[in-house]
Amino acid sequence: MSSDIVKIIPLGGLGEIGRNMMVLEHGDDIIVIDAGVSFVGPEFPGIDFAIPDISYLVENKTKIRAILITHGHEDHIGALPFILPQLRCPVYAPRLAHGLITSKLKERRATRDSVVNPIDPGVVHQIGKNLEVSWFRVCHSIPDAMGIAIGTPLGTVIHTGDFKIDHTPVDGRIFDLPSLAHYGDDGVLLLCSDSTYAEVPGYTTSERVVGESLDRAIRDATGRVLVATFASLVSRVQQVVDAAVKYGRHVSIVGRSMVDTVKVAQELGYLDIPPGVLRPLAEIRRLAPDKVVLMTTGSQGEPTSALVRIAKQEHRDVAIESGDTVIISATPIPGNELPVSRTIDNLLRQGATVLYDRIATVHVHGHASQEELKLVLRLVRPKYFVPVHGEYRHLTAHAQLAWDLDLAKEGIFVMEDGDVLEIVEDQASLVERLPSGHVYVDGLRLWDVRSPVLRERKRLATDGFVVAVIPLDNESGELLGDPEIVTNGFIELEDSTDLIDHAVTLLSEALRKDEASLFEEGYITSRCKEILGPLFQRETGRRPFIVSL
């Protein structure tokens, strides 16, 4: 048996949507494919998003040779500002992703000196001692999306990244199927392929269809048009701009992330916007409504996004007007259905006409459906197959496709984050499981899921808090009177006077009894929790967060 071993370790993106990260390890060389974020629900108050747990990479950072990027979506590049200060390794990315990453890293002092190398498809890069890496073009909902081929001593590993097969893409750059077939003819050790829409039969609709629908919507609108989509969906921005130019409208961008993306895409030539079409919001407000198109973020109902604030009538510069048409050019990511529905309802209440995916073809998926996935499997004909990118049911559905095609006969592995697939010369097997939990980003801070801060926030969000104000003489340590109890988010004080009075009596008696100990560090807070916690839980069934002053 050969001493060569290739390990495949997903640290994010398997069994979930987003937070994509895959590790390939051979000998003393580690390469990482993508480093993305995922968005979290209201069960994590104050959290911006989640990134992968990179503790395994930190432990082995002397082996890390590079991070390889497939494309510029946040669920593939968003974690880079948070992990690069710990890993200090070069990044290789397609040119649009390179521009977006460079702009993102410049915003943080700790990542300004990071090395990000632009790549072109078909160019081979020697990374580490025995790994040869090249990219091949695929279609997705952002320009310059790529798959990656990694040559190892045991054979070629293909990672498709996110893809669909679009024969009429907006930018004219089609999926490089010939290269994929060439790899298949030479023999592929392992295929890791996008599974996001593996449950969907048939073929994914071309982006061209969306362009036609956007054209009609903007043509028929009598007032302003607001288009909400992903900040990084550059092809959609181009389609909106093309329609705006055709019907004599000017465009303004609302939302910082989209402003930054449009700026980078223009500079790199991925957006063609005629002079004078893109106007600042202050200027566009002076134009007639039928001459205006606003592009915004917020297609996923994100609480702080431009569209959500507009829908809630909380945006500083934009308010819905009678006659506005709002186009939500996206499909809700699983888990975001409720906030998206609320946003649509709020817009409708204010008199806007709202077009979204259920009633108009204003969005198509950026991921391959079953027939496209089958085509890739047939072209590559891998020895082993690992479905990637998707919830567990998506991975299972993709595995079933390979099974039905009688492909990857040596092994089809439905993995989850943290699983370690070990491939040797004549076999592959799952050998262990590594830490792969979520790390939560709160501004510039990172919190582990076990952090007491997160637990405390959940308690505050569900049970409220109680503050016990203790009047204490700073010199003698004597109580100067009865404590005062203040609550927030716990109970209605006017309906609970007897309970609060009883709590004050119990606490006052206990503190007076232990007056000699009141100056001991932490004693008062501890005693307040001992007295008030059981009382409130018994009388209300809730456990508020208790502090003392």
Please give the positions annotated as active site.
194, 367
Whole-angstrom distance, CA of residue 281 vs CA of residue 251: 9
CA distance 284 to 254: 11
Burial 386-395 (b: 16+ CB within 10 A, else e): bbbbbbeebb
Cα separation of 504 and 426, whole Å? 73
**Burial of residue 1, with CB atoms counted within 10 A of its CB: 0-12 exposed, 13-18 middle, 19 or more buried:** exposed
How far is the CA of 429 from the CAs of 274, 330, 537, in angstroms?
55, 39, 50
Tokens of 158: 């293909």
Q: Cα separation of 382 and 408, whole Å?
A: 5
Q: Give yes or no for a contact between 229 and 295, defined as CB atoms under 8 angstroms apart.
A: yes
CA triplet 314, 320, 324: central angle to 5 degrees?
Answer: 155
SS3 at position 25? strand
d(CA 343, CA 310): 9
CA-angle at 451, arms to 31 and 437, nearest 5°: 30
Query: How far, in Å, CA of 527 to CA of 511, rounded?
Result: 8
